[in-house]
A and B are shown apart, each in its own frame.
Chain A
């Protein structure tokens, strides 16, 4: 699923990386616990989270995650967005909750199973 599709489905605002609408992911992870994200990495993954501190971008960078969606209308601080730009991570923000945003992407075909 491409960034532009995710942005449209979640009615999301682009915060960084909008110049790369064709960026594609094949799996997703939804969590506010970066410990859990680190424990269950997938290839070409989008991370959905309500956590907005810079460690989100650090975690994403370690896992080669190139797309992060902040839920519940959260907008991270400048420091976090700067880190996203440095790491080449596209960032979106949606007003949907983590549960609803995940459900929308799931029902539109973004599964994570059978990708081990």
Chain B
């Protein structure tokens, strides 16, 4: 059962506020006394997810759930969806525009980096509807063997 739930709305292509939700989530976890390495891994994954929402989605949200033994981070958007998840998970593959690359993003590392930093990673996407990513981080920093699951 979650002891804390926070939700953050993310606006598409808003580079002014991009990252604010991740900063707030990081501060919440530090205040709760979560292990520094876990906070760092979660912050990286969270920021990657937030930037992806800004760059690729038509708007979405980040949901933070803090439980007794684990922290869950959910990224949900309203489209356009990912046609080929396995291809999107490949490091270096990106559909980001030149403008986004000039902002320093869109190198095609985001999804793979999220999976690398999370203890469990699950992504679902439907073209025309949207994408949902769920990442779980164990509070004791004991990384699970089976790290990623793609469906």
**In the complex, are the beta carbons of A55 and B103 less than 8 A apart?**
yes
**In the complex, are the beta carbons of B44 and A41 less than 8 A apart?**
yes
Q: Does A18 contact B (CB under 8 A)?
A: no
**In the complex, are the beta carbons of B19 and A35 less than 8 A apart?**
no
Binary contact track B24-56/A, C-beta < 8 Å → 1, others 0: 001000000000000010011011100000000
How many B residues face the partner with a CB closer than 8 A? Answer: 25
Report chain B residues within 8 Å CB of A54. 16, 19
B18's nearest neighbour on chain A, judged by CB, is A55
Q: Does B80 contact A (CB under 8 A)?
A: no
**In the complex, are the beta carbons of A62 and B107 less than 8 A apart?**
no
Binary contact track A46-68/B, C-beta < 8 Å → 1, others 0: 00010101111011011110000
A residues with CB within 8 A of B? 32-36, 38-39, 41, 49, 51, 53-56, 58-59, 61-64
Closest 9 CB pairs of A and B: A35-B107, A58-B19, A34-B104, A39-B109, A62-B43, A62-B47, A35-B109, A51-B104, A39-B113
